[in-house]
Amino acid sequence: MAIPTAVVPVAEIFALRWKVLRPGRPEESAVFPEDSAPGTFHIAAYDETRAVRACVTFFPEPFPEPFSESGSRAPAHRFRGMASDPSVRGRGFGRAVLAAGIAEARSRGAGVVWCHGRTGARGFYEREGFTVVGEEFEIEGVGPHVVLARTVGAGQD
């Protein structure tokens, strides 16, 4: 059975984002400047009770210059705030929001999607076709991350 996903207002995903990505920190730590920027969209995945079990936020942002492949200028979307409820990890909810977000970004003209992914999630992203670009770095108060990127041109999932 396919996991239902939808493009939703940020208010629909905010509680899960805060709970999973900023536990013990103030709510405002889970508000991103991009949340209401032009072109931003939020994806939710639902369980059978219509509870939000995974989420992600995508927005147009060029791929960082130091990592651009041979000067590529493909339109890019960055994503952040990807979270899945610990009670459903490993059941495809994260994969569902990522796939839905990539499809939506592609429909909006993206040729590349990228993120600052937590080092602990690196294996998940690599299984989804992402490549680590550059060295690990620390986001203060959040932990170690790497830049991950994936080409999402026509015909690629």
Residue spans of beta strands (DSSP E) within 14-92:
41-46, 52-60, 76-84
CB-CB contact of 59 with 39 (8 Å): yes
pLDDT at 154: 52
Mean pLDDT of 126-139: 87
Q: What is the pTM of this model?
A: 0.89
pLDDT at 72: 56
pLDDT at 137 over 90: no
- C-alpha 84: how far from chain center: 11
pLDDT at 73: 65
The sign of the dihedral angle between the CA atoms of 78, 18, 25, 22 is: negative
Higher pLDDT, 59 or 69: 59
pLDDT at 134: 80
pLDDT at 99 over 80: yes
Q: What is the mean pLDDT of the chain?
A: 89
Mean pLDDT of 77-83: 94
pLDDT at 63: 83
pLDDT at 155: 47
CATH class of 5-110: alpha beta
How do residues 22-59 score in pLDDT, each as one tens digit? 888 999 989 999 999 999 999 999 999 999 999 999 99
